[in-house]
Amino acid sequence: MAVQYTIAYESPHVVVHVSGVPDRESVSQMWRDITVSCRENRCYAVLGLSATDRSVALEDALDYASIFEEAGVTSDYRIAWVQSNQAAMVMIELISEMTRNRKLAESKVFSDEAEARRWLAEPN
């Protein structure tokens, strides 16, 4: 089963709810859909609320730079990702670190939604 997700503009963020099992194809489509929503709403602050069933596979995590580039994620994006599955946290943190190091987007991983929202509200 691939990831299932919903994307909605909830001012001042584009909010993404994610569940299921992450795989490259469904995650790539999700990020393409996120960037469409961001462009349509002229909002590049993304709040991800993830309750995936398992962690991202290492080979997929290492490919996230390509996934983001293909989807059109740029340095204009600020991504706060809340991961409720603690077992998946390590790979999500790796993805966030690679994203920041390659200057693809400003991103940070959280275990608490309120903390993620506060971080998104802070000036860049």
Q: Residue type at 118?
A: R
**What's the whole-number mean pLDDT along residues 79-84?**
92
> Residue 44 contacts by C-beta under 8 Å, 6 or more apart in sequence?
14, 38, 76, 77, 78
The partner residues of 9 in beta bridges, in order of sequence, read 14
One CATH from 1.10.1660, 3.10.590, 1.10.10, 3.30.750 for 3-114: 3.30.750
DSSP characters for 75-110?
TT-EEEEEE--GGGHHHHHHHHHHHHHTTS-EEEEE
Domain boundaries, the chain: 3-114
Tell me the pLDDT tens digit for each residue of 2-30. 889 999 999 999 999 999 888 889 999 99
pLDDT given for residue 61 in this prediction: 72
The pLDDT confidence band at residue 85, using thresholds 50, 70 and 90, is confident
Statement: residue 1 has pLDDT above 70: no
What tokens does 80 get? 């706060």
12 upstream amide cis, omega within 30 of 0: yes
Q: Mean pLDDT over all residues of the chain?
A: 89
Give the span between the Cα atoms of 117 and 25, in whole angstroms.
28
Average pLDDT (29-38) is 97
pLDDT for the residue numbered 97: 82
Cβ atoms of 46 and 14 closer than 8 Å: yes
pLDDT at 120 over 70: yes
Tens of pLDDT, residues 37-79:
999 999 999 999 998 877 777 777 777 888 999 999 999 999 9
Structure tokens at 109: 């991983």
